[in-house]
Homo-oligomer: A and B are copies of this chain.
Amino acid sequence: MRELASACYRLLQNRTVFHTISIRVLPGFGQLYPSKDGGSAMFLTSNRIHGYEIARATELGEQSCLHTLFARQPVEHLTPGQSLFFEGDSAKHVFDVIEGTLRIFRIISDGRRIITGFVHAGDIVGVSLKGNYLYSAEAITATKVRRLTRKAFDMAVADSEELRPQVFAHVCDEMAAAQDQMVLLSCKNAEERLCSFLLKYLRRTMSEGALQPIVDLPMTRLDMGDYLGLTIETVSRTITKLTSKGVLGPAGRHSLRIIKPATLAQLAGDGDEYEDSRRDFVVHGERRRH
């Protein structure tokens, strides 16, 4: 019953929409799951069959990248704020994000939330797990995903010499990201954290062939704060500071124009230098902590 209470609390904390989601209690676990829209039962039962089919298809030598595994799965739509799965749920599915952005987070006992990552179109969620999800996943924007049962996914991967290294590489990337995040949280100040964050998004944006150095930040300030280990006020203040320094410029509510990418990279304080790091000339006297 205590678990029930804390789960309710969590749902409240997560701002899960109450008026549209009915709650059902699953036997055995005592945990709350918001049930999805009516059709989901059909999806769930058909997944396994799809999985087998796909596994056989790849055996037969079809083009096999991880995403193709999901190609035949039905597309599911998530509205902003809707949950995909919860921390502690048994990890029954793997998801391919087709469109939109999700936040990946944990809630600790006293209600604080830690966002451990954001997931974007093209990413796959739920691979590096055994047993239960280590975190919850929630849509930030309108999101489209395809799901595959873990069983189907694992079988397809186990049977394919081609896929296995891809999964391994994926896990390694996740690990590397976690390491970077630990560095960021361990010993960077607010400005460095924000710059690292923006830089990551800038690189993503530019590598996608964007013409302008404008990063789209679909998440709220609270999300950014919970990701960077800062409060919304500090995030806001730091953005203001960077703007007044001329590093950033406003570009709409959920976008930022990066005016001086090189300065941003310097301020981020990573070891790896941005290619054109010496291009813009700025005095920045800070350096502290530890």
A positions within 8 Å CB-CB of B: 106-110, 112, 114, 116, 128-130, 134-135, 158, 164, 168-169, 171-172, 174-176, 178-179, 181-183, 185-187, 226, 229, 231, 269-271, 287, 289-290
B182 touches A134 (CB 8 A): no
Shortest distance between the CB of A109 and any CB in chain B (Å)? 4
- A114: which of B110, B158, B186 is its contact (CB, 8 Å)? B186
Least CB separation from A187: chain B residue:
B112
Contacts A109-B271, A135-B179, A179-B106: A130 and B169 contacting too (C-beta < 8 A)?
yes
Contacts A112-B290, A269-B109: A130 and B168 contacting too (C-beta < 8 A)?
yes
- Top 6 nearest A-B pairs by Cβ distance? A185-B185, A178-B178, A186-B229, A109-B271, A114-B186, A128-B175
Query: Which residues in B have their C-beta under 8 angstroms from that of A109?
Result: 269-271
Shortest distance between the CB of A274 and any CB in chain B (Å)? 12
Query: Which residues in B have their C-beta under 8 angstroms from that of A112?
Result: 187, 289-290
A182 touches B178 (CB 8 A): yes
Shortest distance between the CB of A110 and any CB in chain B (Å)? 6
Contacts A182-B178, A229-B185: A172 and B106 contacting too (C-beta < 8 A)?
no
A114 touches B183 (CB 8 A): yes
In Å, the complex CA distance between A181 and B110 comes to: 17
**Given A112-B289, A114-B183, 15 other A-B contacts at CB below 8 A?**
A108-B269, A109-B269, A110-B269, A112-B290, A116-B179, A116-B183, A129-B175, A134-B179, A158-B164, A171-B171, A175-B178, A178-B179, A181-B182, A186-B229, A231-B290
Shortest distance between the CB of A134 and any CB in chain B (Å)? 5
B134 touches A175 (CB 8 A): yes
Shortest distance between the CB of A128 and any CB in chain B (Å)? 5
Shortest distance between the CB of A235 and any CB in chain B (Å)? 12
Instruction: Find the residue from A129, A135, A187 having the highest chain B CB count within 10 A.
Output: A187
Query: Which residues in B have their C-beta under 8 angstroms from that of A287?
Result: 110
In Å, the complex CA distance between A40 and B179 comes to: 30
A114 touches B175 (CB 8 A): no
In Å, the complex CA distance between A82 and B19 comes to: 59
